[in-house]
Amino acid sequence: MRLVLLGAPGAGKGTQCKNIVSQYGLGHLSSGDILRQQRSQGTELGKKARSYMDSGALVPDEIIIEMMTEAIEKVPAAGYILDGFPRTVEQAVELDKALACSGQEIDAVLNLKIEDATVAKRMSGRRSCPQCGAVYHIENLKPKVEGLCDNDGAELVQRPDDKAEVVANRLKIYHQQSEPLVDYYKNNGTVYDIDAENDADDVSALISEKLDSLVKT
């Protein structure tokens, strides 16, 4: 299966990908995680991406398209889920072209639907591990010891782009530049709308229902 997961910032894409990956044995390619890794390694790409990310703007298409098409080529054949990419119609067009070169296409798109007010609550409470990238929430997904990562004991931090003013900008950009992708994919293939207002386990069950039906066909 080659899947795309769409949804506003904080809709729960990363959270849901963990379950999808373990349940269906897919590779997980998160453009945000790859960019954050590049930043922490101090690469040229990471340096270029920094100011865009911290202001909530999108990193330019040409940088992202090259980074993600390279990453896709390295994924094992069993399939993958793309999280955070594509994020503009231009990125989707270029992805389709790159896949077509090797006779492939996206099999299905999952679209997490959520209100802006819910996003604001989720982002303000999100805490991340700077070492392993694990994600928590101060109310919905608490670590065993307050403020510390369950995996490695590192002190949890708030992502710089989770500050309220940056979140507002990210949501504005999502509605302007990323939401049109839903229609792009509806005109080109299968899109499953998923109600992401529910708690994480219920969202996960809704996704499994859709993916199980896809596997059977």
Choice between 11 and 191, CB closer to ligand AP5: 11
Report how far residue 168's alpha carbon sits from residue 101's, in angstroms, rounded to the nearest whole number.
Answer: 38
Exposure string over 63-83, b if 16+ CB within 10 A, otherwise e = ebbebbbebbeebeeeebbbb
Report how far residue 119's alpha carbon sits from residue 171's, in angstroms, rounded to the nearest whole number.
Answer: 9
Contact between 2 and ligand AP5 (CB under 6 A)?
no
Contact between 7 and ligand AP5 (CB under 6 A)?
yes
Choice from 38, 95, 106, 170 touching ligand AP5 (CB under 6 A): 170
Contact between 13 and ligand AP5 (CB under 6 A)?
yes
Both tokens of 10, joined, read 């904080």
Contact between 52 and ligand AP5 (CB under 6 A)?
yes
Contact between 85 and ligand AP5 (CB under 6 A)?
yes
Active site residues: 13, 87, 126, 159, 170
Question: Which residue's C-beta sits nearest to ligand AP5?
Answer: 32
Query: C-beta of 78: minimal distance to ligand AP5 in Å?
Result: 22
Contact between 165 and ligand AP5 (CB under 6 A)?
no
Which residues make Cβ contacts (< 8 Å) with residue 77, sequence separation at least 6? Answer: none
Please list every residue from 110 through 149 that binds ligand AP5, using CB under 6 A. Answer: 122, 125-126, 135, 137, 140-141
Binding mask 87-106 for ligand AP5 (x = CB under 6 A): x---x---------------
User: Residue count at the site for ligand AP5 (CB under 6 A)?
Assistant: 34
Please list every residue from 61 through 80 that binds ligand AP5, using CB under 6 A. Answer: 64
List the end-to-end C-alpha distance of the chain, in Å, as a whole number.
12
Q: Say how many CA atoms lie within 13 Å of 112 toward its Cβ.
A: 31
Q: At what angle do helices 61-73 and 44-55 cross, to 10 degrees?
A: 120
Contact between 35 and ligand AP5 (CB under 6 A)?
yes
| H or E element in which residue 98 lies | helix 89-101
Choice from 9, 129, 149, 156 touching ligand AP5 (CB under 6 A): 9
Residue type at 154 in one-letter notation: A
